[in-house]
Amino acid sequence: MSGKALTATELAHEAGVTVQTASAHLAKLEAGGLTAARKSGRHKYISLAGAEVAAVLEALMGLAAGQGHLRTRTGPKDTALREARVCYNHLAGARGIAMYDAMLARSDLVEDGEDVALSDAGAAFVSEFGVDLAALQKARAPVCRTCMDWSARRTHLAGGLGRAMLVQMETLGWAKREQGSRVVRFTRAGAAAFDAQFGVSGS
């Protein structure tokens, strides 16, 4: 879910199972088109097949959390993950939800059932924010998609725009992805700028 490619050994360690068990499961996932693998030297790296698979996994984590079956590791990282994290390639957690809610409240985004689209005002906003909207519109991926956040079971923004907004926040120096984790760390100045931009209180 971090968007990275990992080896079977790394995945086995994370899941707390043997490499043989992980390999057997990974073979089934690859056969089902849920993962993609590539070789580099002696190593084989596995990643999710795409954003649609990531969206399904995030939804499943939300379902598991609601039923009390989500496996969590206690400690400071759990709080950090709920605050801000990468969900495959876009911003999730409390800050991801806050951004989506703010853009929805000021009509930058318009919901139509389960679909969401960028309004003219929203197009002007994201362009001013530094996002190359024309490039997003030319890409094959949808510009806007919703994604159910597992930690709060509320919506955050995915799609090409969700990814571009996170990239721009990193470019501006507001936030940085924590190495080896899904956590996104906002600097004090970055958190203040985020709160001012999206009209929320910092944590």
The 10s digit of each residue's pLDDT in 151-190 is 777 889 999 999 999 999 999 999 999 987 889 999 999 9
Scan for tokens 């409240």, then name that residue: 105
User: Rounded to an integer, what distance in angstroms lies between the CA atom of residue 28 and that of residue 118?
Assistant: 38
One domain, residues 56 and 45: no
pLDDT for the residue numbered 19: 84
Q: How long, in residues, is the chain?
A: 203
One domain, residues 95 and 186: yes
One domain, residues 70 and 137: yes
Note the pTM of the prediction, 2 decimals. 0.71
> Average pLDDT of 20-48?
86
What is the span of the domain harbouring residue 84? Answer: 52-198
Q: Does the pLDDT of residue 137 top 80, yes or no? A: yes
Percent of the chain with pLDDT over 70: 91
Mean of all residue pLDDT scores within the chain: 86
Q: Does the pLDDT of residue 73 top 70, yes or no? A: no
One domain, residues 32 and 106: no
| Predicted confidence band of residue 203 (pLDDT cuts 50, 70, 90) | very low
Long-range contact pairs involving 182-189 (C-beta distance under 8 Å, separation at least 24): 182/1, 182/2, 182/81, 182/85, 182/86, 182/87, 183/77, 183/80, 183/81, 183/84, 183/85, 184/84, 184/85, 184/86, 184/91, 184/93, 184/95, 185/80, 185/84, 186/84, 186/95
State the alpha helices, DSSP H only, in 50-119.
Answer: 51-66, 76-83, 93-105
One domain, residues 35 and 75: no
Residue 1 lies in a domain: no
One domain, residues 111 and 72: yes
Closest residue by Cα to residue 2 from 54, 69, 45, 56 = 54
Q: Does the pLDDT of residue 40 top 80, yes or no? A: no
Q: What is the DSSP letter of 67?
A: T
Residue 203 lies in a domain: no
One domain, residues 130 and 181: yes
Count of domains in the chain? 2
Residue 111 lies in a domain: yes
Residue 2 lies in a domain: no
pLDDT for the residue numbered 99: 97
Long-range contact pairs involving 114-118 (C-beta distance under 8 Å, separation at least 24): 114/146, 115/146, 116/144, 116/145, 116/146, 116/157, 117/143, 117/144, 118/143, 118/144, 118/161
Closest residue by Cα to residue 195 from 181, 175, 171 = 175
E strand or H helix at 196, and its extent?
helix 188-198
Residue 15 lies in a domain: yes
Residue 3 lies in a domain: no
One domain, residues 108 and 169: yes
One domain, residues 68 and 34: no
Q: Does the pLDDT of residue 50 top 50, yes or no? A: yes
